[in-house]
């Protein structure tokens, strides 16, 4: 089945926003004051040589080679190159690190060249890799141990972001009890699956807001049967589905139903007995499939979801009023709002059978900055990360004089670290500004922009520009729907890398899972087919993969 693409636009837009906001002036707190003062003093007295304890600047100039993924359409100001431009010169001035470009490529060419460089050990001094590559390089002795480097040279600002993950990020970058990489931090807001519905339809039919899956069932049935759009036609469709997957993270899927049963398909996690399990093979997953099958049989799901290329077309046309999606869905609702400005979309978190809001968390880290084995000054990369984090999140007066946008796409090494709950912090900031508790000048540049957009929405007489509406609405009403921390049951992945057997057999195992789950939901196979699936999954490689993961977790 062809993967629909349109609903992924929201994800991509959100990723751009999160990436951009990670490169903005973030909240400042007392922990970063010492670092910032240190940096400003260094800038104010350039004639004084940097000391060995300076967390931002090497005592002597250091050349550091790197490789770069570039956009084929990249255009730079005249006279600038990818390793000699306004920003790299400022980096050199501030850190004494001179980045030297070893090679560059775009898209798939970059991936192929990077894999070849790793395989042949023809590495630059530092490189950003994925988790599979990181673990292979650590296993092969290709990279430096950064344990002492981090402990001695990481700034308080960098440490506070890593500390926000409660040790998970650094643990993911640890191999044989040594910190072998500096990991990124993935915003955890994307893990939450919300129920998005037409609140105006809900009010018209006199229905209460949903709190449980049973409420969702009643609302969906009412939307289908009671003509909420008032056009006199029985043309309202039920919950949208995804023609590519039942449980994988593409949006408009069935994960919300699985989470209700404390089922966490598609991830490896530790169960209550501390045993590693694959979430798609548990008894809870079977319970969720029973309910999903029941919903479809009752006509509560779009009958054509398995063949419909784009579920978002039902949203835009006004034919559906309920679906499951992430907090950033408003980025995909622009056309729907333009067509019907009175459509009042609201998001809700649904409690599970265990009276908790169950969440399948995403990997804490997905990218890793590693330093080539034999590098004599690995602390240079730690100081670079200190600097670039300060530059984008708590810039000094001198930092602010440098264009924060022009050269972002060609940073020598891009590693996004932030609070793992950064989206929630930004929601709180925007709410406080709307309530007058923060002035616009107290906001970060990104959130100040969203605040100004929201003011234009409020002044639009009910006909907002979708370009103004989407981002602030996502933060206010998407993130705003998250349940309180104490009401959540967060299940974190125990392992997000790959194993030898996974490399060989995972595509077949995924196909087995997708086909079985689709056939059960569509009623083409009985629910007992799940038990056969679990047995086949184990015999065809799943059991061996589980053993390999357990072994990896011991390293």
Residue 84 phi, psi dihedral angles, 5° rounding: -145, 90
Q: How many domains does the chain have?
A: 1
- Strand 174-175 to strand 178-179: parallel, antiparallel, or no bridges (unpaired)? antiparallel
The parent domain of residue 514 ranges over 193-325+498-552
pLDDT computed for residue 36 by the predictor: 43
pLDDT digits (tens, 9 = 90+) for 152-188: 999 999 999 999 999 999 999 999 999 999 999 999 9
pTM: 0.84
Q: Which of 11-14's residues contact partners 24+ apart within 8 Å by CB, and which partners?
A: 11/190, 11/251, 11/326, 11/328, 13/328, 13/331, 13/332, 13/470, 14/190, 14/326, 14/327, 14/328, 14/331, 14/474
Q: Is 539 helix (H, G, I), strand (E, B) or coil?
A: helix
Within a domain: residue 16?
Answer: no
For 269-297, what is the mean pLDDT? 97
Place of tokens 């030898």: 500
Is 485 inside any structural domain? no
Q: What is the pLDDT of residues 317-362, one digit of tens each?
A: 999 999 999 999 999 999 999 999 999 999 999 999 999 999 999 9
Taking residues 278-291, what's their average pLDDT?
A: 98
Give the 3-state DSSP-derived string for 376-405, with helices as H, strands as E and coil as C.
Answer: CCCHHHHHHHHHHHHHHHCCCCCHHHCCCC
Contacts of 413 (CB under 8 A, 6+ apart): 66, 126, 127, 128, 369, 381, 384
Range 327-364 burial, b when 16+ CB lie within 10 A, else e:
bbbbbbbbebbbeeeebebbbbbbbbeeebbbbbbbbb
Q: Within a domain: residue 483?
A: no
Confirm whether 80 is domain-assigned: no
Of 473 and 555, which is predicted with more confidence? Answer: 473
- CATH at residue 216: 3.40.190.10
Q: In this predicted model, what pLDDT tens digit does every residue of 50-90 receive, in sequence order?
A: 445 799 999 999 999 999 999 888 888 889 999 999 999 99
pLDDT of residue 271: 94
Contact, 66 vs 103, CB < 8 A? no
The reply to whether 244 falls in a domain is yes
Domain membership of residue 532 (yes or no) is yes
Mean residue pLDDT of the chain comes to 90
Residue 229 lies in a domain: yes
Cα distance between residue 396 and residue 401, in whole Å: 9
Q: How confident is the model at residue 208 (pLDDT cuts 50, 70, 90)?
A: very high
At residue 234, the pLDDT reads 93
366 neighbors 499 (Cβ within 8 angstroms): no
């Amino acid at each position: 089945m062809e993967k629909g693409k349109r609903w992924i636009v929201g994800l991509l837009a959100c990723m751009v926003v999160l990436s951009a906001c990670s490169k903005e002036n973030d909240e400042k707190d007392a922990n970063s004051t010492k670092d910032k003062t240190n940096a400003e003093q260094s800038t104010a007295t350039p004639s004084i040589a940097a000391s060995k304890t300076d967390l931002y600047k090497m005592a002597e100039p250091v050349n550091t080679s790197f490789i770069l993924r570039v956009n084929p359409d990249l255009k730079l100001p005249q006279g600038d190159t990818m390793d000699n431009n306004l920003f790299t010169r400022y980096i050199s001035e501030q850190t004494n690190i001179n980045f030297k470009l070893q090679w560059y490529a775009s898209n798939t060419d970059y991936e192929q060249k990077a894999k070849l460089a790793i395989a042949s050990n023809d590495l630059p001094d530092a490189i950003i890799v994925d988790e599979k590559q990181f673990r292979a390089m650590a296993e092969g002795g290709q990279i430096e141990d950064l344990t002492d480097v981090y402990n001695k040279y990481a700034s308080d600002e960098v440490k506070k972001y890593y500390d926000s993950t409660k040790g998970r990020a650094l643990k993911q970058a640890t191999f044989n009890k040594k910190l072998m990489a500096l990991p990124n931090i993935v915003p955890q807001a994307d893990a939450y699956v919300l129920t998005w519905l037409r609140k105006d339809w809900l009010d018209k039919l006199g229905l209460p807001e949903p709190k449980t899956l049973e409420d969702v069932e009643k609302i969906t049935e009412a939307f289908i049967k009671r003509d909420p759009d008032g056009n006199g036609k029985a043309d309202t469709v039920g919950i949208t589905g995804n023609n590519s997957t039942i449980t994988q993270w593409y949006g408009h899927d069935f994960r919300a139903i699985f989470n209700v049963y404390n089922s966490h398909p598609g991830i490896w996690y530790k169960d209550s007995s501390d045993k590693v399990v694959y979430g798609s093979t548990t008894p809870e997953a079977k319970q969720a499939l029973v309910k999903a099958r029941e919903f479809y049989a009752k006509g509560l799901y779009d009958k054509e979801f398995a063949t419909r290329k784009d579920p978002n077309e039902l949203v835009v046309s006004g034919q559906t009023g309920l679906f499951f999606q992430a907090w950033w869905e408003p980025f995909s609702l622009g056309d729907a709002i333009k067509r019907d400005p009175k459509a009042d979309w609201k998001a809700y978190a649904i409690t599970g059978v265990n009276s908790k809001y169950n969440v399948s968390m995403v990997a804490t880290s997905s990218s890793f900055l590693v330093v080539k084995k034999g590098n004599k000054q690995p602390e240079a990369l730690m100081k670079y990360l200190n600097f670039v984090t300060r530059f984008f999140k708590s810039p000094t007066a001198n930092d602010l004089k440098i264009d924060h946008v022009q050269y972002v796409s060609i940073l020598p090494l891009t590693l996004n670290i932030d609070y793992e709950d950064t989206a929630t912090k930004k929601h709180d900031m925007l709410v406080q500004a709307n309530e007058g508790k923060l002035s616009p000048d107290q906001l970060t540049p990104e959130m100040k922009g969203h605040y100004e957009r929201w003011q234009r929405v409020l002044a639009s007489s009910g006909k907002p520009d979708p370009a103004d509406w989407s981002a602030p609405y996502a933060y206010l009403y998407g993130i705003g729907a998250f349940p309180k921390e104490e009401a959540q049951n967060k299940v974190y992945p125990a392992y997000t890398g790959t194993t030898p057997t996974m490399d060989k057999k995972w595509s077949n195992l995924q196909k087995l899972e997708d086909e079985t789950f689709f056939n059960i939901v569509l009623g083409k196979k009985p629910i007992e087919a799940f038990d056969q699936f679990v047995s086949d999954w184990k015999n065809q490689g799943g059991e061996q993969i589980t053993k390999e993961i357990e072994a990896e977790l011991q390293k």
